[in-house]
Amino acid sequence: MTLFSCEDITFRYAGIREANPTLTGVCLSIPKDCIFGIIGPNGSGKSTFLKCLYRSLSPTSGKITFIGNDLGSYSTRGLAKQMAVVVQTESASIPLTIREYVRLGRAAHHNVLDGFTAKDESIVDEALAELGIEEIQHRPITEISGGEYQRTMLARALTQKTDVLLLDEPTNHLDVFQQHKILQTVRKKNFSAVVVLHDLNLAARYCDYLAVLDHGKVIDMGTPDEILRADLIEDVYKMSINRFVVDGVIQLVMLPLES
């Protein structure tokens, strides 16, 4: 079953020349029940593409369907019940505690101005424990580290109780243990996930499929084995690649090309 079907997506930010859209002719079919990774160099359009999937941006042209329906046909709450999003750009300037912030995820299910139910509170407890942040839950989110904030955002996404999760570089700011922990949580919860990742070795370990974006175009899509080929990755990232298999998982060692 298809989670997202993207047909010929073009996206151009206001003021960008018509000849140079940020996304060009993106056609992708993203299956359900898997972790789908998006990789590519800085500025290749990964975040822009993800924003089109969670409807923060509307494509300039082309069509996106989500679980068989036009993405535009969902109500805001209807979409929030189906899809949770963890992105990097949210600012942590609101004076809420971690717990209060995580609890906001429940807004996907009812108007939080009516207050929170005992069920909401127990879902929040569960999410805080899952991410190992229950001990700091009463700290203001303006006074926590980048890694703690990242885990707080994922905990909030968990309280939405969706089947689908979209993540933009969720491992930024995290130590190696926490990077794996986050992606293990996404796996363990059996999310259908679309995740933008910089670390190709994490992509190899946790993603079922990968799509490579470069200059706003999908260069290739397939399993990590098909995509993480030295020739393709060298071409896209301009690095020299040595490929190994460790524990049955592809691992790349990247070195600068000799100048």
Is 13 one of the binding residues for ligand ADP (CB under 6 A)?
A: yes
What backbone torsions phi and psi does residue 68 show, to the nearest 5 degrees? Answer: 85, -10
**Summary count for the chain: helices (H), strands (E):** 9, 12
Binding region for Mg ion (CB under 5 A) out of 43-51, 60-68, 102-110, 214-222: 43-51
Coil, strand or helix at 228: coil
Q: Choose between 47 and 160: whose C-beta lies nearer to Mg ion.
A: 47
Is 46 one of the binding residues for ligand ADP (CB under 6 A)?
A: yes
Q: Choose between 40 and 59: whose C-beta lies nearer to Mg ion.
A: 40
Q: Choose between 39 and 123: whose C-beta lies nearer to ligand ADP.
A: 39
The entry of Mg ion, ligand ADP, none near residue 94 (CB within 5 to 8 angstroms by kind) is: none
The entry of Mg ion, ligand ADP, none near residue 181 (CB within 5 to 8 angstroms by kind) is: none
DSSP class per residue in 187-236: HHTT-EEEEE-S-HHHHHHH-SEEEEEETTEEEEEE-HHHH--HHHHHHH
Q: Choose between 22 and 159: whose C-beta lies nearer to ligand ADP.
A: 22
What backbone torsions phi and psi does residue 193 show, to the nearest 5 degrees? Answer: -125, 145
Q: Choose between 50 and 158: whose C-beta lies nearer to ligand ADP.
A: 50
Q: What's the number of CA atoms in the CB half-sphere (13 Å) around residue 222?
A: 9
* Nearest of 168, 208, 179, 200 to residue 40 by alpha carbon: 200
Choosing from 6, 21, 39, 45, the residue that interacts with ligand ADP (CB under 6 A) is 45
Coil, strand or helix at 24: strand
Is 47 one of the binding residues for Mg ion (CB under 5 A)?
A: yes
* Residues 68-75: contacts with CB under 8 Å, at least 24 apart: 68/2, 71/4
Choosing from 43, 72, 95, 146, the residue that interacts with ligand ADP (CB under 6 A) is 43
| Residue numbers 48-87 binding ligand ADP by CB under 6 A | 48
Q: Which residues bind Mg ion (CB under 5 A)?
A: 47
Q: Which residues bind ligand ADP (CB under 6 A)?
A: 13, 16, 22, 40, 42-48
